[in-house]
Amino acid sequence: MSSLGPEIDSALRERMRYYRDLGVYSFYRRCDPDPQLFESTELSPSQTEPDISPRKASFVSPEVPAASPVIPPEQKAAALEAIRAELVDCNRCPLATQGRHTIVFGDGDPNARLMFVGEGPGADEDAQGLPFVGRAGQLLNNMITAMGLKRGEVYIANVVKCRPPGNRTPEPIEANTCMQFLWRQIDVVRPEVIVALGATAATYLLGGKASLASLRGRIHSVRGAKLIVTYHPAYLLRDPRQKGEAWKDLQIAMKELGLKAPQPAKSEG
């Protein structure tokens, strides 16, 4: 906690999060323990996105695993469970000792055509062991319903599987350490479309920082999937005026998946 007191500290944190969601990074607190660790890593071809440089290297994990072989549909659930089992009692990064209660692995259909990737568990997710079950999760559920899908038909995961204290943004060392598991989840599920929810998911999936504004509205390519970037539901809760913009992003995903929004039921009489 800063010396400014808990209320100012919390207000500052909230403000920084707001700016980050807008794509403003000058407030970001860098904490790379070893700058060399994050530099001059080779990107796998599926990760390259020409417009993200020059700050790409700082946010690219040195351990991006090569894409694993395609897994038959009936074996995907077991394959995901095997990855989950590797995370039991994980102590690979500092989040292991910063108050997490559960490891929030992921949830949904192992054969989903659509995957959502968020930032990291919050308090509700940490308590229940499932991603997006708090207020932001309620909004995500509504977004999924608006797309004509059920939550159980998509797959949902996060960049980091443990709750960062105070819901702070994961540090690069934490995100880069945990990304290997997200890559493997993506390789198992092999979604046709991934929706990155917010700046952190976009940063680590695309391998570098850029403003959400510059990433939204077009289709990126990540590990064989089409990637669409939109606002994080928590940001939409803070600024509901942006919901229309998020809906535009979801419509791009729907078009790629051949989905039509459900028609509202006609009232009788």
What is the binding site for ligand URA (CB under 6 A)? 118-122, 125, 131-132, 136-137, 158, 234
The minimum distance between CB 235 and ligand URA, in angstroms, equals: 10
The minimum distance between CB 53 and ligand URA, in angstroms, equals: 26
Nearer to ligand URA, 234 or 253 (CB): 234
The minimum distance between CB 119 and ligand URA, in angstroms, equals: 4
The minimum distance between CB 121 and ligand URA, in angstroms, equals: 5
Nearer to ligand URA, 41 or 163 (CB): 163
Nearer to ligand URA, 110 or 118 (CB): 118
The minimum distance between CB 231 and ligand URA, in angstroms, equals: 12
The minimum distance between CB 143 and ligand URA, in angstroms, equals: 13
Nearer to ligand URA, 118 or 172 (CB): 118
β-bridge pairing 220-222 and 114-118? unpaired
**Closest residue (Cβ) to ligand URA?**
118
Nearer to ligand URA, 183 or 231 (CB): 231
| Nearest-angstrom CA–CA distance, 111 and 13 | 37
Nearer to ligand URA, 158 or 203 (CB): 158
